[in-house]
Amino acid sequence: MCFLRAVPEFGSRLRELRRAAGLTMEQLAEASGVSARAISDMERGHSRAPQARTLAALATGLGLDPGQLGDLEDVARRRRAHSAGRPRLCEPPRAISDFVGRADELDRMRRHALAGLGPAPVAVVHGQPGLGKTALAVRLADQLRDRYPDGRFYLDLRGTDAEPMSAGDALVRLLRALEVGPRRIAETDDERSSQLRAVLRERRCLLVLDNAGSEAQVRPLLPSEGESLAVVTSRRVLGGLAGVERIALAPLAPHESAALLRAIAVQAADPRAAAGVEAVARLCGHLPLALRIAGTRLATRPAWTVEHLVARLADADRRLATLTTGDIGVATAFALSHAQLSKPARELFRRLAHVPGVDFAATLAAVLTGGHPDDTADGLDELVDLGLLQQSGPDRYRFHDLIRLFAEERLRIEEPAGTRAATAKKMSDWLLETAIVAGRWFEPGYGRLPDGWGGPVALGTAEEADTWLQAERANWLGAMRSAARGGQYQLVVDVAEAMHWYSDKYVRADYWYEVYGMSRAAAARLPDRRQEATHLNYFSWAATHCARRPGEGAEIAMDAYRIAAGLGDLKEQSWALRYAGDAWRHGGMPERALDAYRRATELADRAGDHDGYIQLRPGIARALIALGRHEEAIEECAATLRDIETRPVAARPELSARVSAHGIAAESLAESGRWAEALREAERAMPYAVEFGYPGYLGELHLTIGRARMALGLRDAARPALRKAVELLDDLPHQRWRQLARQGLAALGETA
């Protein structure tokens, strides 16, 4: 006897009431909103007694009075009580009581479920291991329980297993859970899929298809029409599924991570532990699985403090081991995806651990494996598809912090030390050689690609070189550190030398202090003392302009001067005095700076260093402005522009001198109240500043243009210039200029 027919009273009673009302199944379906198929199943005992919402709809369609409705509810309760002991298939797992975050994702899925247009809604929740995809799907199912009175069903498709569940097995399980009798289940997978769609079309169910391995596995399980909802979770994007709502999960926000830790462990809820909680969240990479494990370890060890846990997690070599509790672990979750990789993708995965920066381009990945770029692209796609790598741009990729640690672990296990060292050196050498080629686009003596160069990176213009240097900065800088540690001193010096003129484009960037600190130290290990003087000068520039330590910058410059004087090198003596002058001017000693600049100019002239000479004249003008000698500053700028026309100056130094001369002259004219002249001079400088690209020059010029237009009564024209000045100067240390720009906007009734 079929179990579901053991208590037929509800079906019989419903049939009697329908017939007494003179209604066919189709008429009752139209009157109640409950499908004819569902009514048929209930009358024949093929489904459980309906929930309250469905029962109320049937009562309305039948026109039952309160007494009749009460009788029907009693029968339904007896029916449910009788079937309560029967094991229910595909029951959703227990929801997490301390679920945190994901409000936007839940809202998107709710709206998708309620859209009511087109085919039955399907949402695909995808992302790397440990993001809480299952927890999110179960949370949604719990929140929408009233909307799906015909049942919420959960099925783990075991997509990360060596043998995932077949679509045929999944279909049988779902049909049985939907109370289709074993004898009524179709013979073939295609027929079962059609049968499942037919059942779901007539009911309002929610399916959670967890841990899907492929489109082929999950496609036969999806509803086609009706009001049922399917939520699919997968580490893969499942891009072959059309017409679905894709929810890409990311790590939690910092405040959500902290909230989750506080919900799990009482130690984390102590306000005094806030800094430690923040550190734990950061070390867990804001990954929900890692946070839950960390919180559980803390909660089950009352003697531990949050600081104790921080200390454990701070050891990168032991972090993955620490993030394990019971039978779950972060590394275990990653390993399931790693096991699905092809052999070439496994090699690529572990070798990407060599990359020193946060992200990288596909060309760098190809260098690590030595493979064809197309094969590397396929490997990267495979890693992204399995959630082991994230795409951070059109051609850029990055690891989650914990997955990087897992890749490093696989690298140590799977490759011998000699192979690791050779691969790392090959990568570093390639990065530094490419950086030298890119940087030399900005050097006066180069400004082009070397003859015969055929690297894989597009460096055919200065703009392409700049783009590569900025995108890969963390990587070539990391390679410089590696070369310095490995004793490749001349290579370190060569890279820094290639960056000398390029660094002017990003004069306020703090990383130049490290670059020239390394090159200064490397040059001191080489026999050429002229290189040492040169790189001491560069380091002085970085200390003054980038690290904003003018006192240190002056001391370093004078060390360089002493070495250059001992060598009789007039050019490096000139540069040393120029950098000392910069340091003294920034340190509030303009008179001393002016003297240093003038001595440096004489030495540069004697040495025939026209590029250095032309760079010094604007420094003299800056010092004169600081001394309030504006007319002299204006004349110095005019002399600079005349010298450009008579001296053989290289393109980049010429561009720098032109924008500086025009800009400083405009500032002096503005300070003298000669607003119309200041406006003309600033507008004349603007094209040069745009070409040069340094935000400080552009910000200063927009400020002068805005102030001049204000003074000339052109208030509407002044507004956009002042806004741009505030935007450009916001991250730069030009406090006085920022203040002037904000004051100008305030006078126009705006706040910056």
> pLDDT > 90: what percent of the chain?
69
pLDDT band at 752 (very low <50, low <70, confident <90, very high): low
Give me the pLDDT at residue 4, please.
37
Give me the pLDDT at residue 325, please.
86
Other C-beta atoms closer than 10 Å to the C-beta of 572 total 27
pLDDT band at 7 (very low <50, low <70, confident <90, very high): very low
> Strand pairing of 229-234 and 206-210?
parallel
pLDDT tens-digit readout, 148-184: 888 899 999 999 888 899 999 999 999 998 888 888 8
Other C-beta atoms closer than 10 Å to the C-beta of 5 total 12
Q: Measured in Å, how far apart are the chain's first and last C-alpha atoms?
A: 80
Backbone angles phi, psi at 266, to 5 degrees: -65, -30
Give me the pLDDT at residue 601, please.
96
| Cα radius of gyration (the chain) | 36
Give me the pLDDT at residue 85, please.
44
Task: Scan for tokens 């900005």, then name that residue.
Answer: 442
> pLDDT > 70: what percent of the chain?
95
* Average pLDDT of the segment spanning 654-679: 93
Determine the Cα angle at 400 with ends 479 and 112, to 5°.
Answer: 145
Q: Is 45 exposed, middle or buried (0-12, 13-18, 19+ CB in 10 A)?
A: buried
Give me the pLDDT at residue 212, please.
95
**CA 244 to CA 304: how far, in whole Å?**
46
Task: Scan for tokens 């209604």, then name that residue.
Answer: 23
Domain boundaries, the chain: 3-83, 103-248, 254-326, 333-415, 694-747
- 126 three-state secondary structure: strand
Q: Kindly compute the dihedral angle of the four CA atoms of residues 568, 572, 577, 582, in this order, to the nearest 10 degrees.
A: -170
Give me the pLDDT at residue 456, please.
87
- 427 three-state secondary structure: helix
pLDDT band at 745 (very low <50, low <70, confident <90, very high): confident
Give me the pLDDT at residue 80, please.
53
Starting at the earlier edge strand, list the strands of the sheet with 390-393.
359-361, 396-398, 390-393
Q: Is the pLDDT of residue 651 over 70?
A: yes
**CA 428 to CA 426: how far, in whole Å?**
6
Give me the pLDDT at residue 5, please.
38
> Strand pairing of 390-393 and 245-248?
unpaired
Taking all residues of the chain, what is their mean pLDDT, rounded to a whole number? 90
Going from the C-alpha of 502 to that of each of 133, 222, 361, 648, the distances in angstroms are 46, 57, 22, 20
In 71-147, which ranges are E strands?
Answer: 122-126
Q: Is 163 exposed, middle or buried (0-12, 13-18, 19+ CB in 10 A)?
A: exposed
Task: Scan for tokens 């002016």, then name that residue.
Answer: 594
Residue 49 C-alpha from the chain's centroid: 50
Helices marked H in 269-396 — which ranges? Answer: 274-283, 288-299, 306-314, 319-322, 330-338, 343-351, 362-369, 373-385
pLDDT tens-digit readout, 349-370: 999 999 999 999 999 999 999 9
pLDDT tens-digit readout, 610-630: 999 998 999 999 999 999 999
pLDDT band at 492 (very low <50, low <70, confident <90, very high): very high
Return the structure tokens found at 489. 């001193």
pLDDT tens-digit readout, 520-539: 999 999 999 999 999 999 99
> Strand pairing of 390-393 and 324-325?
unpaired
pLDDT tens-digit readout, 413-447: 999 999 999 999 999 999 999 999 999 999 888 88
Give me the pLDDT at residue 1, please.
30
Give me the pLDDT at residue 310, please.
95
More confident residue, 394 or 630: 630
Q: Which CATH architecture has domain 333-415?
A: Orthogonal Bundle (1.10)
Q: Is the pLDDT of residue 675 over 90?
A: yes
Going from the C-alpha of 94 to that of each of 98, 123, 142, 252, the distances in angstroms are 12, 21, 9, 22
- Is the domain defined by 3-83 classed in CATH 1.10.600.10? no
More confident residue, 463 or 68: 463
Other C-beta atoms closer than 10 Å to the C-beta of 592 total 17
Q: Is 407 exposed, middle or buried (0-12, 13-18, 19+ CB in 10 A)?
A: buried
With a CB cutoff of 8 Å and minimum separation 6, the contacts of 297 are: 304, 309, 322, 325
More confident residue, 76 or 690: 690
Lowest mean pLDDT among 62-76, 201-215, 308-322, 486-500: 62-76
pLDDT tens-digit readout, 337-351: 999 999 999 999 999
pLDDT band at 78 (very low <50, low <70, confident <90, very high): low
Choosing among 1.10.1060.10, 3.40.50.300, 3.40.190.10, 3.20.20.80, the CATH entry for 103-248 is: 3.40.50.300
Other C-beta atoms closer than 10 Å to the C-beta of 26 total 11
Give me the pLDDT at residue 736, please.
80
Task: Scan for tokens 């030399």, then name that residue.
Answer: 440
Give me the pLDDT at residue 304, please.
92
pLDDT band at 219 (very low <50, low <70, confident <90, very high): very high
* Average pLDDT of the segment spanning 16-23: 84
* Average pLDDT of the segment spanning 66-83: 67
Q: Is the pLDDT of residue 593 over 60?
A: yes
Q: Is the pLDDT of residue 220 over 80?
A: yes
Task: Scan for tokens 């939907």, then name that residue.
Answer: 178
Give me the pLDDT at residue 353, please.
97
Q: Is the pLDDT of residue 51 over 90?
A: no
Q: Is the pLDDT of residue 75 over 80?
A: no
**CA 442 to CA 438: how far, in whole Å?**
8
Q: Is the pLDDT of residue 485 over 80?
A: yes
Q: Which of the residue ranges 70-84, 314-328, 574-588, 710-724 has the most confident prediction, judged by mean pLDDT?
A: 574-588
| Closest C-alpha to 140, from 105, 191, 189 | 105
| Closest C-alpha to 129, from 303, 385, 305 | 385
Q: Is the pLDDT of residue 733 over 80?
A: no
pTM: 0.79
**Contact between residue 90 and residue 173 where contact means Cβ atoms under 8 Å apart:** yes
